[in-house]
Amino acid sequence: MKETQHNRRIGQHTAFTLIELLAVIAIIAIIAALLFPALRGVSERSKKIHCMSNMRQWGSGLTMFLADNDGVFPEEGRQGGGIDYYLTSAWFNVLAPYMGTEPLSNMVAQKRAPCPPDDRSVFTCPSLKPQDVSGTFDNQHPVFSYAYNLWIDTGTRQADHDAFGRLLRISQILKPAKFVVFGEDASAQYDHTAAKYLKYRHDGTNSVNLCFADGHVANFFWTNVFVPPHGSTRDNVGVIWDPDGNPPQEDF
C-alpha cells in the first residue's frame, strides 16, 4: 500500500505546470538577451580580423610587386573619368596574382564581380553591408571594399603635387610604416580613397583598417584618422596620405 501511494506521488509530479513552463521560458529569454550582444560582438571582432587578414594579403602582394618592379607602385584603375577594370597595370589586376587569386578583370569578364554580401574573396570586407555601398553594382560592376591611396598615382592628384613623378617609388616614401596604401571603402564608383573617404565599419562603425607601405595593417579609431568633409587629407595624426604635402613626411 505504501509503495503504491509513493508511486502515485511520483507520478503526480512528473509534468510541469503552466507557471513553471512560463518561468523557464522567461529565464531562457533573459539569458538569451544577455548573451546576444556578446555574441554579436564576437562576430564583429571575427569580421574585423578577417578584414585585416585580407588587407595583409594586399600588403604582401604589394611588397612582392615592388620587389619585381624596381620599387614603382602600381597604377590606379581610372581612365577617362571612370574605372577601367581591364587596365592591366591597375593595382587590382597586377597585385592579385601575387596573392594567388585572379585579377579583377577576369572576374568582371566572367560576370563574377565581387559584391557584398555573397562574395568571400580577398576583394571584400565581411563587415561591408550592401546598403552602405555608394553607386550601383552588379556581377559586372564590383564593389571596392578596399581602395588605393589616391596620392600614389599623379593622374588623380592635384597638378601642383608632382614632386615625385607620375608614380611613386617605395624609395621616395620616407616613412613606409606611416604611409597609407590601402584604406577601407564602400564604393562601386571609385577604386581609390583618401582620409575623408574612409568608411568606418568596425567596432560599431567606430574604426577602420589601414594597410601601409611596409605591408603592415592596423586598426584605427575614427578620431585618429578622421578629416572633415571639406578638410585637407593631410591633417591626420601620425598617418601620411600625401607624400609631398604639408606637413612633409619629415615631420612624422
**Where exactly are the structural domains of the chain?**
43-251
Cα distances from 229 to residues 132, 194, 197, 205, in angstroms, run 18, 11, 8, 17
Say if pTM beats, i.e. exceeds, 0.85: no
For 45, phi and psi rounded to 5 degrees?
-60, -35
Q: What is the pLDDT of residues 83-98, one digit of tens each?
A: 999 999 999 999 999 9
User: Above 80 in pLDDT, residue 145?
Assistant: yes
Q: Is the model's pLDDT at 1 over the cut of 50?
A: no
Residue 5: per-residue pLDDT:
52
pLDDT digits (tens, 9 = 90+) for 33-56: 666 665 555 577 889 999 999 999
CB–CB of 199/129 below 8 Å? no
Give the pLDDT mean for 133-145.
Answer: 95
Alpha-carbon dihedral of residues 205, 212, 159, 249, nearest 10 degrees? 110
| pLDDT tens track for 171-224 | 989 889 999 999 999 999 999 998 888 999 998 889 999 999 999 999 999 888
**pLDDT surpassing 50 at residue 68:** yes
pLDDT score, position 35 = 64
Q: What is the DSSP string of 134-192?
A: BS--BTTB--EEEEEETTSBGGGS-TT--TT-SB-BGGG-S-TTTBEEEEEEEESS-SE
